[in-house]
Every structure is written in structure tokens, then in C-alpha cells.
Amino acid sequence: MSEVPVKEQRVTKQRLAISAALDGLEDFVSTQELHRLLYERDVRVSLATTYRILASMAEEGLVDTLRNGEGESVYRRCSATSHHHHLLCRSCGKTVEVEAPAVESWAARIAAENGFTQVQHTVEIYGLCPECGAA
């Protein structure tokens, strides 16, 4: 699978602030939540700039992005360094990173059968974590 070249981004104080804020978070966060967090820390980055920087960081593979239960994009720095997927609790938002070799094989086979190249995919599995399921 060939990689698509990524445009190199300027390192700005806004980008550094967003990066630092993400480093301190364990859970996925929406753009608006991150913007509010920055504001509470007296870091002034416009909401539009926050959206733009998060999108470019996701494109560069610096953060993972997925859609939460409401369909909103959320972002997080993940500990996994290789391609992976997520289990996401619909109740509390807890996320578990999972590798899924069977999914990778299936995606590659389906793409090849249909003549697709440079394929990318994400798998998001929603449910209730053990704690929420027990409640």
C-alpha cells in the first residue's frame, strides 16, 4: 500500500498548545471540548483554528479520530503505534484500542476483489464497557 504524501505543517504556538493539551488527555475529545479546555487554561486559539489543526494532525497520523455515538468527530493521541481500531462505550465514553488482523485481511481481500488500491479503513465498535454494563 503506497502512502499519500502529507503536506508539512508549520509549527505554530497554536499547534503546540493543541498538541500539549492532547498529550495530557487519556480519552477522546471533541474539537469543541478541546477548545473549551484550552480557553479554561487561558490559551487563546480560535475554534476554526482548532478544527483545522486537529484535522491536519489526523491526516498526518498524529492523532486518532473516530465518531462518537452522536456522530461527532473526536480525537486522541493513541498509545498504539501501529494501525488499530477502537471499542467505545456508548455510556461513559471509555475507549479500548484493539488490533484486528482478521479485519485487516478482510479489508485487503475485499479491496483487491474490487480493484481498489491505496485503501484505508477504520472500524469502530460501540457497546457498553463492563462497568456500565453491570450498572
Contacts of 28 (CB under 8 A, 6+ apart): 64, 66, 68, 74, 75, 76, 88, 93, 95
* Tens-level pLDDT at each residue, the chain (135 residues): 444 444 555 778 999 999 999 998 888 899 999 999 999 999 999 999 999 999 999 888 888 888 877 888 999 887 666 777 888 888 887 888 888 888 888 999 999 999 999 888 878 888 999 999 998
Domains and CATH numbers, the chain: 8-77 (1.10.10.10), 80-135 (3.30.1490.190)
- Judge whether 83 is annotated as a binding position: yes
Question: Has 129 been labeled as part of a binding site?
Answer: yes
55-80 pLDDT, tens digit per residue, is 999 888 888 888 877 888 999 887 66
The pTM of the full predicted model, rounded to 2 decimals, is 0.67
Burial of 49: CB neighbours in 10 Å, binned 0-12, 13-18, 19+: middle
92 labeled part of a ligand binding site = yes
Instruction: Say if residue 78 carries a ligand binding annotation.
Output: no
Please give the Cα distance from 65 to 68 (Å, whole number): 9
